[in-house]
Amino acid sequence: MADITAPAYRTIPIIPALKPGAMEGKGPFIANEKMQEALGFPGQLVDDWHDKAIAKMGDLLGKFRSLRVFMDACVHCGACSDKCHYFIGTQDPKNMPVARQDLLRSVYRRYFTFAGKYFPKLVGARDLTREVLDEWYNYYHQCSECRRCSVFCPYGIDTAEITMAAREILASVGMGQKYSNEIIAKVHKIGNNLGLPEPALVDTLEGLEEDVKEDTGLDIKFPVDVKGAEVLLITPSADFFAEPHIDGLIGYAKVFHASGTSWTLSSMASEGANFGMFIGNYEQLRKIALRIREAALELGVKRIVVGECGHAWRVAYSFWNTLSGVGDGADETDRFAQMLQKQLDHRYRQPTHICEFTWDLIRRDALKFDKSKNDQFVITMHDSCNVARGSRMGDLPGGQFEIPRNIIKAVANNFVEMDPNTTRERTFCCGGGGGLLTDDLMELRVKGALPRMEVLNQAVQEHGVNYMAAICAICKTQFSKIMPVYGFDRKMVGGVHQLVSNAIILGDK
């Protein structure tokens, strides 16, 4: 960390000049043989990688309409060209979404289109060479799959889909990424990304109960594997002990306590994150999601609630119903999904975000708060990318923006917004999403956070902001790590439920 310094702030709005080659390099560490094989990928670069990669591309083109349409539809209009936080932060032209897509599109054109087969130079088509493969590895690990570009594309081209396809191709020829693959292996083996085994988890939670008791004088429980509980909480494992995540977990527990909800965690599915999405592998995405189904069936819960985690909520909200049947509206004949859906209580949304859960209680006047407990904070909201652009909360589109803000305003007095070009659907990624939250990408993470830091700094100067709320474990980890580089206190970032925890009035103590 010592050798990485913060880039200087610029005047907003920023249209960066190009610095070709600024982020050239080898990319993050490659997964070793063991990690690759654990996920069913070849251990190292296969001899016939060229043919395998092209065949894989053809396979994906046939399976995903997104990829199929997105490869053809781009007209190079440049609408996305200044929208990626990694481009704004690094100025490397290959980090412009369109240029990043073209790394793959140029090869697609060469092998799958008439123009590219016969007039490659004319349409910018190129052969798949070892250099191209390495370039893919480097630049497709400089995309956090945050979908900001897709908001602005006139055809809705989502670079995230293309990054996922590229990473899937890379892994399938033996070039998987160490960080993501290692974590996925841990999820399967131990149950969570952090590799926290059941006894350690139970221990940690018992310790937490004692801490909270000391603090509040109340017996607030953190139950694990309780059969017949009403709610199964699925939350990122960082919530169990990372700072500031754990304060959010305490917040959830207090809300459950105050509302008299019986709830439980699952040791088998003690992880909300699903890195299968990051590596673009449908089978892994599905396999990781199935753990939650199994846990829900085994524990017999009526509701599934998801903690503060961005991509986990995207997977839960958008994909769980498809992958594992956690949701509603399956066909009568769909035995796989019906098995679970019959068990769930459909008076509630399945799955429910913890913010939806808390906000419903607040609306019913079921929770009491002392807002002055948060008076030391001037709070702003960093919308987490996957929540903002890949999911919803509540019944109305945009509920994913309103509900967390409503909660903050219900539990605190001082709330201000950042530049509207960088919040809600236009929010920046924190710089660490999409499987990039690893120390071997620290330079990228620091530069990728620059756009958010510039805007935050503006809010700090104008309004004295000293708390940036986020509802994502990756945002929290990334910011608490890189904010000190920018001269901010690492404690400036925190969860929404951390604020809830501060202000909630429990019992009659």
Residues of this chain, 325-364, that bind other proteins according to CB under 8 A: 325, 327-331, 334, 336-337, 349-351
Minimum CB distance to other proteins smaller for 9 or for 64: 64
Minimum CB distance to other proteins smaller for 253 or for 387: 387
Q: Where are the beta strands (DSSP E) in 375-504?
A: 379-381, 467-469, 493-494
> Chain-centre distance of CA 480, in angstroms?
16
Minimum CB distance to other proteins smaller for 219 or for 334: 334
Q: Which range in 25-33, 395-403, 434-442, 458-466 contacts other proteins by CB under 8 A?
A: 395-403
Minimum CB distance to other proteins smaller for 40 or for 78: 78
Site for other proteins (CB under 8 A): which residue of 57, 99, 258, 492?
A: 99
Min dist CB 391 to other proteins, Å, is 6
- Which helix H or strand E contains 306, and what residues bound it? strand 303-306
Residues numbered 437 to 476 that lie near other proteins (CB under 8 A) are none
Q: How many Cα atoms occupy the beta-carbon half-sphere of 222 within 13 Å?
A: 26
Min dist CB 152 to other proteins, Å, is 4
Tokens describing residue 126: 């190129």
Min dist CB 377 to other proteins, Å, is 28
Residues numbered 129 to 188 that lie near other proteins (CB under 8 A) are 147, 150-158, 161
CA angle 366, 371, 377 (to 5 degrees): 140
Min dist CB 338 to other proteins, Å, is 10
Minimum CB distance to other proteins smaller for 74 or for 258: 74
The residues with which 231 forms a beta bridge, in sequence order, are 263, 303
Q: How many Cα atoms occupy the beta-carbon half-sphere of 366 within 13 Å?
A: 15
Residues numbered 68 to 97 that lie near other proteins (CB under 8 A) are 68-70, 72-83, 93, 96
CA angle 244, 248, 249 (to 5 degrees): 115
Distance CA 500, CA 371 (A): 9
Min dist CB 397 to other proteins, Å, is 4
Helix, coil or strand: residue 490: helix
Distance CA 179, CA 242 (A): 18
Q: Cis omega before residue 484 (within 30°)?
A: no
Residues numbered 282 to 321 that lie near other proteins (CB under 8 A) are 282-283, 286, 317-319, 321
Contact status: 64 vs other proteins (CB under 8 A): yes
Site for other proteins (CB under 8 A): which residue of 98, 170, 233, 441?
A: 98
Rounded to 5, what percent of the chain is helix, strand, coil? 55, 5, 40
Q: Which range in 120-128, 175-183, 221-229, 443-451 contacts other proteins by CB under 8 A?
A: 120-128
Minimum CB distance to other proteins smaller for 323 or for 500: 323
Task: Render 456-470 in DSSP notation, one character per residue.
Answer: HHHHHHHH---EEE-
Minimum CB distance to other proteins smaller for 146 or for 229: 146
Residues numbered 414 to 433 that lie near other proteins (CB under 8 A) are 425
Tokens describing residue 201: 């988890």
Task: Render 90-115 in DSSP notation, one character per residue.
Answer: H--GGGSHHHHHHHHHHHHHHHH-HH
Site for other proteins (CB under 8 A): which residue of 6, 38, 61, 506?
A: 61
Residues 6+ apart with CB under 8 A from 206: 222
Min dist CB 19 to other proteins, Å, is 11
How many residues make contact with other proteins (CB under 8 A)? 78
Minimum CB distance to other proteins smaller for 300 or for 398: 398
Minimum CB distance to other proteins smaller for 316 or for 469: 316
Residues numbered 246 to 285 that lie near other proteins (CB under 8 A) are 282-283
Residue 508 neighbours by CB distance under 10 Å: 4
Residues numbered 363 to 392 that lie near other proteins (CB under 8 A) are 388-392
Site for other proteins (CB under 8 A): which residue of 122, 297, 366, 416?
A: 122
Q: How far is CA 359 from CA 229, 355, 494, in A?
A: 21, 6, 18
Min dist CB 85 to other proteins, Å, is 15
Min dist CB 88 to other proteins, Å, is 11
The closest alpha carbon to 455, from 472, 431, 491, 476, belongs to 431
Residues numbered 11 to 50 that lie near other proteins (CB under 8 A) are 17-18
Contact status: 491 vs other proteins (CB under 8 A): no
Minimum CB distance to other proteins smaller for 62 or for 507: 62
Tokens describing residue 19: 């610095």
